[in-house]
Structure formats: structure tokens, C-alpha cells
Structure 1
Amino acid sequence: MDRTFTVDEARALLPAVIEEAAAVVAARADLAEIDFQRRSGGRSELGGLPELKGLQARIEEILSGWSELGIEVKGIAPVLVDFPSVLDGESVRLCWIEGERELAWYHRTELGFAGRRPL
């Protein structure tokens, strides 16, 4: 979906993104623990292969939902998303990374994360 967001539209979606990102972070940690225990021959209290597959599916469900909204998923460790936008006639990405409390950064589309600037 090719969509551009205003700053206000992106900020309105951010509380839901933050809540879902917390679910991704929790699933990511559980997934890492189960996978480590499986590879080391142990058993995790969090479960085995069925739980691992369930966690993978949950993460994919959240990421797919964001993509359907037009949000670009750049990473999950840490969770990093971009909202395509236009500022002063220039293509930019409104940028949010796990741990931030608000949408306060952007970067020119072609510069990526390294070009982040405050809104």
C-alpha cells in the first residue's frame, strides 16, 4: 500500500503501534529463549516448537497489520518503523524506534536512519 501520512495521522496511530510493539518485544524475548533452549538440548518453561511457531505467527500478524496500514517495518530488534510522509515538498519518513514515547523524528527517504532529525 502506497500511503503518505501527515504528522498528525502518524501520531494518532502511534499509541496502537507502541502497544503492539510491546507485544512484539515480549514475543521476541520468549522466542529467543525457547530457541536457545531447543538448540542447547534443554526445555524451556515457555514451551517448545508449537509455542515457538505461535510466537513467530503473532509477530508476523502484527508486522503484516502495520504494512497493511502503510507503515514500513524496518526492524524488530529493535522495533523500528517509518511512516512515509512529505515535509516541505520533500519525501521523508517519520521515524519511530522502540523505547521512544512519541513520534518526534524524521529523515529524508534516501538518507535512512542515519539522517534522523527532530520534527
Structure 2
Amino acid sequence: MDGKLFTLEEANALLPQIKEELADLQALVNQIELHYQEFQKIKSSNKHGQSVNGHDPLFEIETRIDFMRMEVELAIQNFGRKGVLLKTINPGLVDFPSDLKGRDILLCWKEGEESITHYHGWHDGYMGRKRIADEM
């Protein structure tokens, strides 16, 4: 396996930063959803061809959404730059590549958990999670 391997201690030490960045990302995704709903509402009201004070509201919302999508992409890439794998945004699910007794594994954290207490194999996914304490 290429890339960073985390010890359990390193992954748990990084977790507060991951939680904060995940919360920011979730807020951004929620804002995109709200803007998209506003876009659809204006579009369906047949006012989308009318400008208000010289501004096209659909164009402005669409531009905001496009910019926020770029921010989302950058935020997701930042997880990767740290060496972690963002699996889902809502609910947050993050994997940390690691090694357990010579096996390549992923330390698995799910939003709401205080710390990392589970792992799974690279091909097992979330459903294959096992408690780390059972392996120690």
C-alpha cells in the first residue's frame, strides 16, 4: 500500500481537526442544497426570465452554487492530502489507512463516535467493521 499509514494514536490525534473540517463541509453541502431549492423555486415560478434591478436571480444562484461546489471539491481533496479517506459526508464516515499485525486495514470513524474504535479491511467496507479492542 502506498501513502501514509496511521497508528491508532495518530488517527485519534487528528480526529478533532477531521471533525471540524467535516462539520464545515457538511454546512457547505447544506448551503448548496438550500440554494438549489431556491433555484428550483424561482425557476418553477416562471420568473426566471425576468431580471430584478438588472440582475438575473437564476444566474446569481447558479454562480453561487458552482462556486460552493468548487469549495466542496477542495475540502474533499484536503482530506486526501492528510492521507485520510472521506467515505461519506452525511453522516460523516472517514477511514485512516493503517496496519494491524502485518495486514493493511482501515481505521474507521463514524460521526458521533468519540474516538476511533473500529477497523475493517480494504474490501470489507463499513459493514465489515470490527472492534479494535478485540484484536489487541
- Per the normalisation by structure 1, the TM-score is 0.85
Give the whole-Å Cα distance in 2 for the aligned partners of 1:20 and 1:113.
Answer: 21
Q: Tell me the residue number matched to 1:21.
A: 22
**Local SS of the residue matching 1:2:** coil
Give the partner amino acid of 1:3: K
**Local SS of the residue matching 1:94:** strand
Q: Tell me the residue number matched to 1:85.
A: 98
Larger radius of gyration: 2
Identity of aligned residues (%): 31
1:44-55 equivalent positions in 2, closer than 5 A: 48-55=61-68
Structure 1 unaligned regions, length at least 5: none
Q: Tell me the residue number matched to 1:61.
A: 74
Q: What is the CA-CA distance between 1:86 and the residue it aligns to? A: 0.7
Tell me if structure 2 keeps the 8 A contact 1:27–1:55: yes
User: Could you tell which deviates more after superposition, 14-23 or 99-108?
Assistant: 99-108
Q: What is the CA-CA distance between 1:77 and the residue it aligns to? A: 2.6
Number of residue equivalences: 117
Structure 2 unaligned regions, length at least 5: 44-59
**Local SS of the residue matching 1:4:** coil
2:124 to 89, 111, 118: 111
**Local SS of the residue matching 1:107:** strand
- Per the normalisation by structure 2, the TM-score is 0.75
1:38-49 equivalent positions in 2, closer than 5 A: 38-41=39-42, 48-49=61-62
Give the whole-Å Cα distance in 2 for the aligned partners of 1:102 and 1:92.
Answer: 17
